[in-house]
Amino acid sequence: MQNKFKHFLNKYLLGTANSTEKKVVEDFSDNLQRRPLIELKIIQENSKLRSSIYNSIKYKTRERKRRKNYRLLSIVFSLLLVVGLTIYQKNISVNNQELTYSTSNELAKHIILPDGTAVTLSSNSTLIVSNEFNQSNREIKLLGEAYFQVAKDASRPFIISSDNFETQVLGTSFWVKRNIVEVSTGRVKVSNLLDRENYVILTAEQKALLKDHRLYKNTIDVFSCISSTSSYLMMNNITLTQWKQIIEKEFDIQIHFLEDIISTKEFIQADFRNSTLADIVQSVSYMYGFDYKYENKTIIINNTKK
């Protein structure tokens, strides 16, 4: 279709177009000129088109030449606007291009960013990454919750803008939740988006808590840590071994059984989203009849029911 129109336009410029071909070109021009214009960069006239215009009108009378020149210039200008608008919109599209990762009610998503950072995006969450990420900056936006294992790059801090915080790191692992940032390893700066002078520096086993629009720093009590909303915490007929693996990953701890696990009949069916580690372990210990204690980021379980 594009080649066919170009053929009509060439014939129009040479004065050899029939009435149907003239109508196609002129209707196209009129339609373009009726459209509202948006901001465009100045586009230089195509030299070949301009030459064709001049050649097509030089044999006409002055009055007819003036009318024809105006008509042809109008058509060419309209075409140039279309070309320029297409280029401009493509440039805008490229400049504003963003990668968006979203999760539903049921699924968490594991993402590797271009710099090597690993992200576990919780359910009902969105991560927005600009096309400039890992080029001029390492800035992203988070709506919801995610766990980050940030690749180290001393020259470019990793910056997360979330619901209430701006979190800046060089290389570390941490949770960003709606009102809490919990650091597992490394060093993190958390700033209050409502008050940039209100910020805290966190290291391993520390957390930032937003309360009454102010940021506070506390030591992490692992048993009081609240789980995410990830779908894998909705446990449906899983074994104790599977439960152990999920909880270790969720809370960055180790679970050690002093006795062999024998679980051929009993399965865990529970929703542990938005639950403290203490509540989760207590619920399962009641179900299986075991005792436990916590030492150095390890839950030690014994007296497992056979």
Q: How confident is the model at residue 64 (pLDDT cuts 50, 70, 90)?
A: low
- pLDDT at 86 (0 to 100): 52
Q: In percent, how much of the chain has pLDDT > 90?
A: 19
Q: What is the mean pLDDT of residues 282-286?
A: 88
> Using CA atoms, how far apart are residues 6 and 25, in angstroms rounded to an integer?
9
Same domain, 121 and 173: yes
- Give the residue from 191, 220, 249 where a domain finishes: 220
- CATH number, domain containing residue 246: 3.55.50.30
- Give the residue from 34, 62, 96 where a domain finishes: 96
39 by DSSP, 3-state: which?
Answer: coil
Q: Residue 161: which of 149, 174, 135, 143 has the closest Cα?
A: 143
Higher pLDDT, 88 or 187: 187
> Using CA atoms, how far apart are residues 99 and 110, in angstroms rounded to an integer?
15
Same domain, 207 and 240: no
Higher pLDDT, 173 or 64: 173
Q: What is the mean pLDDT of residues 56-64?
A: 50
- pLDDT at 44 (0 to 100): 42
Q: Tell me: the pLDDT tens digits for 210-260? A: 988 899 999 888 888 878 777 788 888 888 888 989 998 888 889 988 776
Same domain, 113 and 212: yes
> Using CA atoms, how far apart are residues 106 and 249, in angstroms rounded to an integer?
18
CA angle 110, 139, 134 (to 5 degrees): 80
- pLDDT at 95 (0 to 100): 46
Same domain, 82 and 105: no
- pLDDT at 240 (0 to 100): 85
202 by DSSP, 3-state: which?
Answer: strand
pLDDT at 166 over 50: yes
Q: Which residues contact 14 (CB under 8 A, 6 or more apart)?
A: 52, 55, 56
Residues 172-205: b if buried by 16+ CB within 10 A, e if exposed = bbbbbbeebbbbbebbbbbbbeeeeeebbebeee
Residue 276 lies in a domain: yes
pLDDT at 69 over 70: no
> Using CA atoms, how far apart are residues 188 and 251, in angstroms rounded to an integer?
18
What residues does 130 pair with on adjacent strands? 98
Same domain, 188 and 137: yes
Domain that holds residue 203: 98-220
Phi, psi angles (nearest 5°) of residue 31: -65, -40
- pLDDT at 66 (0 to 100): 53
- pLDDT at 215 (0 to 100): 93
Residue 225 lies in a domain: no
> Using CA atoms, how far apart are residues 3 and 89, in angstroms rounded to an integer?
23
Total domains in the chain come to 3
- Give the residue from 59, 75, 96 where a domain finishes: 96
pTM for the full predicted model: 0.55
Q: In percent, how much of the chain has pLDDT > 70?
A: 69
Q: Tell me: the pLDDT tens digits for 71-82? A: 555 555 555 545
Q: How confident is the model at residue 137 (pLDDT cuts 50, 70, 90)?
A: confident
**pLDDT, averaged across the chain:** 76
Region of poorest pLDDT, from 204-208, 241-245, 252-256, 284-288:
284-288
- pLDDT at 58 (0 to 100): 54
Q: Tell me: the pLDDT tens digits for 32-51? A: 555 444 333 333 444 454 55
Same domain, 241 and 191: no
